[in-house]
Amino acid sequence: MNWDDIRDQAVSWANEAGDVIRKSFEKELTVETKSNADDLVTNMDREVEQYLIDKVSEAYPHHKILGEEGVGEEVSSLDGTVWIIDPIDGTMNFVHQQTNFAISIGVYHEGVGMVGVIYNVIYDEMFHVVKDNGAYLNNVKLPDLEEVPIEKSIIAINATWITNNKRIDPARLIPVVDRCRGTRSYGSAAIELAFVAAGRLDAYITMRLSPWDFAAGKILIEEVGGRVTNLYGEPLNILDKNSIFAGKSDLHQQILDEYLTNE
Ligand code: 2AM
Ligand code: CA
């Protein structure tokens, strides 16, 4: 398999899908809810997913495709080559802000992340990676991450996780928020992971993401020497929902040791 070719194709399909999304701003959007009143889906999520899946299945009829909106198939194993696609990551931002959303495409082969593409549509920032062949922002290679002490770190975390919620005792994360230099929340997991890979954020913590939210970002971050695990330092289950803790290696280890292990 030529992973550079697959990366080039994924980049060009993400670009084309970005055009489709930008043009859609002139048209009326249909917004519906999924699992709850804040879980949004639009006609564009479905249209873009269909668009990307058509491209992949035409070029690679034997590859499997897992997409958020269910246009793809049920994928129950990582055998062979699996494309994991989020047509719009950050749908709430897409609906409310018309910015800060991304297209995310991760390609796994026999369970190993080989190609990742995250397109920050409105900023026209294309993050892409081929495993062991470098991570890039547009045409610029992303350098290996430089370590930073927690006191100088910026950590992406949503306020949900330090207030009462059903996934974690908020007291666990308050000291981390206290000690770091600042926190940010962009509302798109794919963008937050891409920003960790680009060194704009030093870590990202969230309690529940689906495969399409993290599939590409994980490959990008690992390529530049960062770590992506669940909140307790364990490997992710790529086909399931996971808590996510991504960050620069030493910072990741320090936060795990000091705040997250020994329940
Ligand atoms: P989405 O916009 O593709 O649904 C928002 O903080 C981030 O979490 C977005 O990346 C969003 O992806 C994702 N997200 C929102 N609701 C989620 C859920 N119920 N499970 C997993 N990820 C979710
Ligand atoms: Ca989505």
pLDDT tens readout for residues 239-249: 999 999 999 99
Percent pLDDT > 70 in the chain is: 99
In a 3-state reduction of DSSP, which class is residue 135?
strand
CA–CA distance, 95 with 30 (Å, rounded to integer): 10
- 54's enclosing H/E stretch is helix 43-59
Neighbours of ion ligand 2 (CB under 5 A): 68, 86, 88-89
Atom of ligand 1 nearest to the CA of 185: 6
Residue 86 CB–ligand 1 contact under 6 Å: yes
Nearest Cα neighbor of 48 from 80, 24, 30, 32 is 24
pLDDT at residue 262, as a whole number: 65
Report pLDDT digits (tens) over 34-67: 999 999 999 999 999 999 999 999 999 999 999 9
Alpha carbon of 102 to ligand 2 centroid (Å): 9
16 has a pLDDT exceeding 80: yes
From the CB of 188, is ligand 1 less than 6 Å away? Answer: yes
CA distances from 194 to 39, 78, 114, 115, 197 (A): 22, 23, 16, 14, 5
For residue range 98-109, list pLDDT tens digits in order: 999 999 999 999
Classify burial at 152, counting beta carbons within 10 Å of its beta carbon; exposed 0-12, middle 13-18, buried 19 or more: exposed
Q: What is the pLDDT of residue 71?
A: 80
* Nearest ligand, measured from the Cα of 90: 1
93 lines ligand 1 (CB under 6 A): no
Structural domains of the chain sorted by starting position, each given as residue range(s) with its CATH number in brackets:
3-141 (3.30.540.10), 150-260 (3.40.190.80)
**Residue 179 CA to ligand 2 centre (angstroms):** 32
Residues 6+ apart with CB under 8 A from 70: none
The residue contributing the CA closest to ligand 1 atom 5 is: 187
Q: Which residues have a catalytic role annotated? A: 68, 86, 88-89, 91, 213
| Atom 22 of ligand 1: nearest residue by CA position | 209
Measured in Å, residue 176 CA sits from the centre of ligand 1 at 22
Q: Return the biggest CA–CA distance within the chain.
A: 52
